[in-house]
Amino acid sequence: MDYLVTHIKNANRFEVLLENGQTAYLNYNEFNNSLNLSHTYVPKSFEGKGIAAAIVKFALDYARKNNLSIIPSCPYVAAYIERHPEHRDLVKQT
């Protein structure tokens, strides 16, 4: 299923508005040409439907389009990158 992911720049997050008015989101902080992807949240009743994956993919595509590296502080983001190695080049090297 496709989800409409929106970048809420002034809130530092990518989000999906769900049918019941709840929101799923990925918080980030931007600094030094990097996005620190810090926390993913999906309401329990919507878990397992690919919403978090859609949001993370959107964030990674955003980083790539804007020449930003990423810091996968969120365990879900780190696991997503492990499952999708084509995004490993975005991870900021320390």
Distance, CA of 93 to CA of 85 (rounded, Å):
15
**The domain defined by 6-90 carries CATH number 3.40.630.30:** yes
Q: Where are the domains of the chain?
A: 6-90
Give the model confidence (pLDDT) of 1-25 as tens digits: 789 999 999 999 999 999 889 999 9
Is pLDDT larger for residue 94 or for residue 74? 74
Give the model confidence (pLDDT) of 46-79 as tens digits: 999 999 999 999 999 999 999 999 999 999 999 9
Least Cα distance to 3 among 48, 55, 45 occurs for 55
C-alpha distance from residue 94 to each of 66, 70, 71, 91 (Å): 20, 11, 10, 9
Amino acid residing at 44:
K
> Which DSSP symbol is given to 50?
S
Q: pLDDT at position 74, please?
A: 97
